[in-house]
Amino acid sequence: MNPGSVVGRERELAAVGAFLTAVPDGPRALLVEGEAGIGKTTVWLAAVRAAGDRGFRVLQARPAESESRLSYAALADIADVAFDEVRAALPDPQERALAAVLLRAAADEPADARTTATALVTVLTALAEDCPVLLAIDDVQWLDGASAEALAFAARRFPRRLGLLVTRRSEGVADVPLGLDRALPEERFERLAVGPLSLAALRQVISERLRTSIPRPVLARIADASGGNPFYALEIARGLTGDAGAGRPLPVPPRMSKLAMERINSLSPAAREAVLVAALLSRPTTAALSGALPGGAEASPAIVEAEEAGVLVTERGRIRFTHPLLASAVRGSVGFVKIVSVAPISTIPPGEPSSTLELPLIAIVGATLFTCTESALAAFANVPSSSTRSTVMA
């Protein structure tokens, strides 16, 4: 499969090419999944183009969240043109049901779901008799319920020479869409995870899209912050200022900042504190969080809550954010403030000297977390652990 203008996706395009090659030998399905912005749609579009070049009939739908409550919206996109081609071959009940769904005819009552789904199977079967068919759905998570039920019904009855290609956001989702893992034999259903782009690929994407060249040290920081996600990397690169290479915080894309704040604001106060401490520690662990939380609070319940919300992940006692930009967004949400009552330096966990904390640094006042400069924190390093100093730090 010729990658064309697709950058850094050789593995994914090879998998798509193999999938298309195998479709004429029997029905197959390929689920392309990954986080938002990682490049699923780029791979999907390349597959649609490749299928057309190979002589496939391509039926496609790109459902949107705003249409997810409109019955049969996606099915109408898939079957609209094809319906005219095979209408004469449809049994009368199927023809009437599908015509009503497509708003081609008035209906005295809502279309029967089973009849409509059966009509879809008939349409697909008729088309597959002439040439291989690719049924391509981008962002399957936004399918309206009626279309999803019809497609799940059809998946268990796919004709030979039909391939189903769907993309799906993977965050916090476990179930396979449309029951594809049950509808098809194991060898005919594949999953393809779209991974992060390499540093070289990100450089090329940024150069081609933004017509700019970014110094390698800054590019490495962008790659680390974005987790290799091209959408977020581009958004960060767009927001760069001239002093980005001087250790200044990278800009956080508004979309990720909004997502981070929505997730974090849904947490309890204890879990929010744990998330903020984790974002400010260079090597967060469960032990470090327990030592840093005010009053020696137990960190485990707060960490579990943050994990269930899709913010943190715990692996063998170490803690990381589900996406690097979540940590950046959390840090970016805390401004430099003046505080007058600072918790003793002992609130910093043992074995976590101030030099390992990332700026802005943390100071704890009661149950409130603040930030302070490294020099200000260092000034408290010689204060006895039982002391609490009243002063002003900026």
245 in the same domain as 261: no
54/313 Cα distance (integer angstroms): 43
Domain presence at residue 293: yes
351 pLDDT higher than 60: no
Q: What is the mean pLDDT of the chain?
A: 80
Residue 293 reports pLDDT greater than 80 = no
Identify the three-state secondary structure at position 166. Answer: strand
173 and 97, same domain (yes or no): yes
3-state secondary structure of 198: coil
Q: Which of the residue ranges 57-71, 145-159, 213-227, 250-264 would you say has the lowest mean pLDDT?
A: 250-264
User: What distance in Å separates the CA atoms of residue 7 and residue 234, rounded to the nearest whole number?
Assistant: 14
pLDDT at position 394, please? 28
Statement to judge: residues 225 and 285 lie in one domain: no
Query: Which one, of 14, 43, 49, lies nearest residue 31 by Cα?
Result: 43
169 lies in the same domain as 134: yes
Is 2 among the domain residues? no
**Cα–Cα distance between 39 and 225 in angstroms, integer?**
17
Using a pLDDT cut of 70, give the percent of the chain over it. 78
**Contact 323/255 with Cβ under 8 angstroms?**
no
Residue 341 has pLDDT above 80, yes or no: no
**The domain spanning residue 76 has which CATH number?**
3.40.50.300
Q: What is the SS3 assignment for 317?
A: coil
Q: Is residue 5 part of a domain?
A: no
Identify whether residues 247 and 266 lie together within a single domain. Answer: no
Report if residue 4 sits inside a domain.
Answer: no
Determine, yes or no, domain membership for 1.
no
Who has greater pLDDT, 312 or 380? 312
- Judge if 171 and 285 occupy the same domain: no
pLDDT in tens, 26-82: 899 999 999 888 999 999 999 999 999 999 999 999 999 888 999 999 999 999 999
pLDDT at 83: 95
332 and 389 together in one domain: yes
363 within a domain of the structure (yes/no): yes
In this structure, the answer to whether residues 329 and 228 fall within a common structural domain is no
Over residues 100-129, the pLDDT tens digits come to 999 988 777 777 999 999 999 999 999 999
The closest of 287, 292, 286 to 273, measured between CA atoms, is: 292
Q: What is the pLDDT of residue 297?
A: 57
- The answer, yes or no, to whether the previous bond of 350 is cis (omega within 30 of 0) is no
Overall domain count for the chain: 3
pLDDT band per the 50, 70, 90 thresholds, residue 262: confident
Q: What is the pLDDT of residue 257?
A: 74
- pLDDT (0 to 100) of residue 338: 30
261 and 132 in a single domain? The answer is no
Say which range, 115-124, 144-153, 202-211, has the weakest mean pLDDT: 202-211
- Are 125 and 103 in the same domain? yes
Instruction: In whole angstroms, give the CA distance from residue 166 to residue 33.
Output: 8
Q: List the domain range (segments joined by +) for residue 282.
A: 256-393
Residue 369, pLDDT score:
41
In a domain, 222, yes or no: yes
Kindly state whether residues 188 and 204 are assigned to the same domain: no
Would you say residue 390 has pLDDT above 60?
no
Model pTM score: 0.71
Mean local confidence (pLDDT), 375-392: 34
Minimal CA–CA distance to 360: which of 368, 351, 370? 370
Q: Is residue 361 part of a domain?
A: yes
Within this chain, do residues 111 and 181 fall inside the same structural domain, yes or no?
Answer: yes
- Per-residue pLDDT tens digits for 186-204: 999 999 999 999 999 999 9
**What is the structure's pLDDT at 247?**
59
Q: Does position 361 have pLDDT exceeding 50, yes or no?
A: no
pLDDT given for residue 278 in this prediction:
86
Residue 232 near residue 37, CB atoms below 8 Å = yes
Instruction: Say whether pLDDT at 380 is over 50.
Output: no
* Confidence check: pLDDT of 89 > 50: yes
